[in-house]
Structure 1
Amino acid sequence: MKFTKMVKPEEVKRDWIVLDAEGETFGRLITKIATILRGKHKPSYTPHVDCGDFVVVINASKAKFTGSKLENKEYHRHTGYFGGVKSEKLEDLLKKNPEKLFKLATRGMLPKTKLGKQMLKKLKVYAGSEHPHTAQVKG
């Protein structure tokens, strides 16, 4: 009888993957990022182990949005005080801080546990085409 091989944390081999967001649809790109961070693209995927790769996203400010999301979609946060709901439009967030936008969207697709927070730390987002991870990335 054969059993499924469960990978241990010390056996995981991590790669660095660079994704260019220029001209890519935002939601489809975020789905791809979340899949890579979780490690679901690998045959050795194990749900209770962080077996995903590092992801470097460049040109984050040039991602494409369909429909009227740029004008209508809002991101909300709460300060903790009464009436402390702060809203920010997607268009403003994309101009001001595209790194935060990518992290917020990706966080929603990862597990809401310690493991999910550990996976999110492997996401590196840059608004321009330059990034400091050239030594880690192959080719």
Structure 2
Amino acid sequence: MDTLSYKTISANKATVNKEWVVVDATGQHLGRLASKVAKLLRGKYKPNFTPHVDCGDNVIIINADKVELTGKKWTDRVYFSHTGYPGGQREITPAKLKEKGVDRLVLKVVKGMLPKNRLGAALLKNLRVYGGAEHDHEAQNPKVLDINALK
């Protein structure tokens, strides 16, 4: 019996094939967009996915200012944070977070869907978010990806 055919192949930093992908957020619901982008960053759509390795793609999100939330979530949903000091609990709504910067809302939601460790922090660095249709990563030759085609 040939035991070499039963070995599991794990991806590592040298064997990973990372690509640049552009995702258009126009008319997309925030949570569904963020979950698919988190899967792209993690590499879960690739056949050589390895849980402990950064094998995902570099993702560029354009038109992040045109992302949608259903119902009254722009004003009624509240994100909590804490400064670490007594009485330091802070709250912010998605509308106020979007006013501070169009990329902050999308980054916050995608960050919540990534692992809470050093790998998750490294994966978040592979995400670039832009409010308009312009981005400054043309040199990487990114391919345009239809986010609705992914599961």
In the other structure, the counterpart of 1:59 is 63
Check 1:95–1:112 CA distance in 2 against 1; reply closer, same or farther (3 A cut).
same
Determine if the alignment matches structure 1 residue 115 to structure 2 residue 81: no
Question: Offset of 1:134 from its aligned partner?
Answer: 1.1
Residue type of the partner of 1:99? Answer: D
- Distance (whole Å) between structure 2 residues aligned to residue 32 and residue 15 of structure 1: 16
Question: Offset of 1:54 from its aligned partner?
Answer: 0.2
Secondary structure in structure 1 of the residue aligned to 2:119: helix
Gaps of at least 5 residues in structure 1 are: none
CA RMSD of aligned residues (A): 1.2
- Distance (whole Å) between structure 1 residues aligned to residue 19 and residue 55 of structure 2: 10
- Distance (whole Å) between structure 2 residues aligned to residue 138 and residue 113 of structure 1: 28
Secondary structure in structure 2 of the residue aligned to 1:56: strand
Determine if the alignment matches structure 1 residue 15 to structure 2 residue 19: yes
- Distance (whole Å) between structure 2 residues aligned to residue 86 and residue 109 of structure 1: 21
Alignment of 1:1-139 (within 5 A): 1=3, 2-138=6-142
Q: Work out whether residues 74 and 94 of structure 2, in 8 Å CA contact, stay in contact via their aligned partners in 1.
A: yes
Provide the TM-score with structure 1 as the length reference.
0.94
Provide the TM-score with structure 2 as the length reference.
0.87
Deviates more, 1:30-39 or 1:85-94: 85-94
In the other structure, the counterpart of 2:146 is none
- Distance (whole Å) between structure 1 residues aligned to residue 27 and residue 105 of structure 2: 16
Aligned length: 139
Question: Offset of 1:129 from its aligned partner?
Answer: 1.0
- Distance (whole Å) between structure 1 residues aligned to residue 110 and residue 93 of structure 2: 18
Deviates more, 1:36-45 or 1:96-105: 96-105
Secondary structure in structure 2 of the residue aligned to 1:11: coil
Residue type of the partner of 2:23? Answer: L
Question: Offset of 1:98 from its aligned partner?
Answer: 2.1
- Structure exhibiting the larger radius of gyration computed from Cα positions: 2
- Distance (whole Å) between structure 1 residues aligned to residue 121 and residue 44 of structure 2: 17
Q: Work out whether residues 18 and 137 of structure 1, in 8 Å CA contact, stay in contact via their aligned partners in 2.
A: no
Secondary structure in structure 1 of the residue aligned to 2:92: strand
Secondary structure in structure 1 of the residue aligned to 2:139: coil
Q: Work out whether residues 22 and 60 of structure 2, in 8 Å CA contact, stay in contact via their aligned partners in 1.
A: yes
Q: Which runs of 4+ in 1 moved over 2 A?
A: none
Q: Deviations over 1:99-126 (max 9, x none)?
A: 1111111111111111111111000001
